[in-house]
Chains A and B, each alone.
Chain A
């Protein structure tokens, strides 16, 4: 379970997160929606300690993420992250991309790592591209590679930061299909997304962010179909 309690985060004078409280239980899919700059992505980066926090606590499976003594590298093995710009490693093949971390972080042999990697790559539909270099593939394929690469570390949680925002429209579907697959597998997921209908379809919980705070949170029906707060209504009327 991931517990986020009273988290504040500033970049210099700019306050980005102003007191976030959120709980994500095992197997849940939580979607985070909101305008750009409302702090959604920053929250994800705070969960896996890519960013520090100014106050509050984030606890993943009982471990305080931002405690000085916490081994953050070890923590990140359990939190898979996929970015808006897939960030595939251009100097490695698809298979090598996914097998690298299992090999050098978890200590698997090359063969073992490649087995794990190919399993995940097959799962996301890239089984026939193992020897290709990412730069030769479409954005949608590279994004699925990024997902498989994160899955190869066998994390308990997956964090998705607007993973379809940088894709051409016709490629969005294949990535959303992959996310649906993961949901059906029972993966615990936090998705920052602009795809409202997708959020409604897969999520157990939806949180609407506004200027660094959670304005409204609840089930998809509650937040997306019957928003109580005015700002939520305004945001949804703009995007739908």
Chain B
């Protein structure tokens, strides 16, 4: 039964390349979060606005992002746009899909976080003589940030894990690099085991750092 011999040295020799793949994974995730956050703010504002047009535009984006598979959106970007003559690189395809989805999920997170703060906090702060800007800056937004911090961390972890779909469009993030390396060396099992471990370590590190930051910044308790 067990006649598979493990050869790890090929993997160790290729480690720098795996690291470079991991780096690509991280930067596509970080960038997709940053751009996603900006769009999410706009979408959340749009959905909470009084304008019916803005509401529907935001809602359509949010619902499409939340109800379609990530892989489907990557294929839409990579193959679908090709019908219009737009040929996105693997990186851009994965990036746009992640941005699109992150924006949708984060918009709901932001909207929920904002709406969960009682309006009485606003009245109390105004009664102290604060203008609207100060009320948001010192009272509303700090509380909102505490509520969305954890979901945002989770969305970031999701982005890192989902970037692995790049393997299916030939992208050079961690999974894609792993695939490329194993196809020339035939050490499939060893390479993918290392890739799995690397994803695990990256995820754990992200959660650890996020936890440390939250302890430092949010010393207080929420209501």
Q: Hey, which bits of chain A sit against chain B, CB under 8 A?
A: 48, 50, 73-77, 79-81, 83, 85, 87, 89-93, 100-101, 104-106, 133-136, 146, 149-150, 153
Q: Are A76 and B220 in contact (CB under 8 A)?
A: no
Q: Are A76 and B126 in contact (CB under 8 A)?
A: yes
Q: Using known A-B contacts A73-B129, A91-B142, A135-B223, determine if residue A104 contacts B124 with beta carbons closer than 8 Å.
A: no
> How far apart are the CA atoms of A153 and B131 in the complex, in Å?
15
Which residues from chain B contact A90 at a C-beta distance below 8 Å? 143, 220-223
> How far apart are the CA atoms of A153 and B221 in the complex, in Å?
25
Q: How far is the CB of A124 from chain B (nearest CB, A)?
A: 16
Given pairs A76-B129, A80-B127, A92-B220, 10 additional interface contacts (CB within 8 A): A73-B129, A73-B131, A79-B127, A83-B120, A90-B223, A91-B143, A104-B134, A135-B221, A135-B222, A150-B128
B90-107 Cβ-contact flags toward A at 8 Å (1 or 0): 000000000000000000
Q: Are B222 and A48 in contact (CB under 8 A)?
A: no
Q: Using known A-B contacts A87-B120, A91-B142, A105-B134, determine if residue A50 contacts B222 with beta carbons closer than 8 Å.
A: no
Which residues from chain A contact B127 at a C-beta distance below 8 Å? 48, 50, 76, 79-81, 83, 150
Which residues from chain A contact B168 at a C-beta distance below 8 Å? none
Q: Are B222 and A104 in contact (CB under 8 A)?
A: no
Q: Using known A-B contacts A83-B123, A83-B124, A87-B121, determine if residue A133 contacts B220 with beta carbons closer than 8 Å.
A: yes
The interface residues of chain B, by DSSP majority, are classed as helix
Which residues from chain B contact A91 at a C-beta distance below 8 Å? 142-143, 146, 218, 220, 222
The interface residues of chain A, by DSSP majority, are classed as mixed
Return the chain A residue nearest B137 by Cβ.
A104
Q: Using known A-B contacts A87-B124, A89-B121, determine if residue A73 contacts B130 with beta carbons closer than 8 Å.
A: yes
Return the chain A residue nearest B144 by Cβ.
A91
> How far apart are the CA atoms of A236 and B138 in the complex, in Å?
43
Which residues from chain A contact B222 at a C-beta distance below 8 Å? 90-91, 135
Q: Using known A-B contacts A87-B121, A133-B221, determine if residue A104 contacts B126 with beta carbons closer than 8 Å.
A: no
Return the chain A residue nearest B146 by Cβ.
A91
Sampled A-B contacts (8; CB under 8 Å): A76-B129, A87-B118, A89-B121, A91-B143, A101-B128, A104-B130, A133-B221, A135-B221
Which residues from chain B contact A50 at a C-beta distance below 8 Å? 123, 126-127
Q: Are A101 and B130 in contact (CB under 8 A)?
A: yes
Contact residues, B120-161 vs A (CB, 8 A): 120-121, 123-131, 134, 138-139, 142-143, 146
Which residues from chain B contact A153 at a C-beta distance below 8 Å? 128-129
Q: Are A100 and B138 in contact (CB under 8 A)?
A: yes
Return the chain A residue nearest B222 by Cβ.
A90
